[in-house]
Amino acid sequence: MAYQIEVQPGQQLFIENIGSQTVITLTSSGLGQQQQSSQSVHTGTWTAPPTAYRTAGGMIIHVRTTEGDRTLAIQQNQIQMTSGTQMISGHPVLMQESAPPSTSSIPPMKPMKPMKPMGTLKMGNMQMSMNPMEMQMGDMKLSMNTPETEESTPNSSRRFCTQCGTQAKPSDRFCAHCGHQL
C-alpha cells in the first residue's frame, strides 16, 4: 500500500513498500510544470504503516520493518536513511493511503520501426538516389565510391578551383584567378 503526504502546497511525497524496498517519490507541481524524483532504499518489509514528522529542515519518516526500525530524512528533495537510534522530534503529519504516483505505471515506449530505404528523389531537373549515392542535375553528374573514367564522365577533364569556383585546366597547379593551390 502506498501512502501520501503533502510536504508543502504543490509538493507531494509518496511512500510505498515493494518487497524489501521502500520507494519514496517526491512530486512538485507549479504553474505549467511538474517534477518528480524517486528513490528506492532497502529497509525490509514493513510490519506497520509508516509515521511522518515535519521538522524545520524537512520531513522524517519512521518505518517499522522485519529488519528493525528505519528512519528516513527528507530535506530539500534529498532522501537519506539515518540511524534508527536518532531521536525523532517534530510535528506528526497525517498520512493518507493512496495509489502510487501515476507516472510509475506508464508503460515504456515501443522502439521505432525501421525506415524504408529512400528511392530516387526528383525535383525539376535534379535527381538524387541513395544506393548507389549519386546526384544528377542537367548534364552534370556526381556519384560516390565509383571510379571515374573518360567514358563514364565526358566532362572529367574539367577542373574547378575549390576556393573561388573558376574553371581550371587539367595541367594547372594553381588557380589563375585567385592563386589557390588546386
DSSP string, 1-65: -EEEEEEETTEEEEEEEETTEEEEEEEEEETTEEEEEEEEEE---BSS--EEEE-SSSEEEEEEE
80 confidence band (pLDDT: 50, 70, 90): confident
pLDDT digits (tens, 9 = 90+) for 14-67: 999 998 899 988 888 877 788 888 888 888 899 999 988 888 878 888 889 998
Give pTM, 2 decimals. 0.49
* CA distance linking residue 56 with residue 76, whole number of Å: 11
| pLDDT higher at 83 or 132 | 132
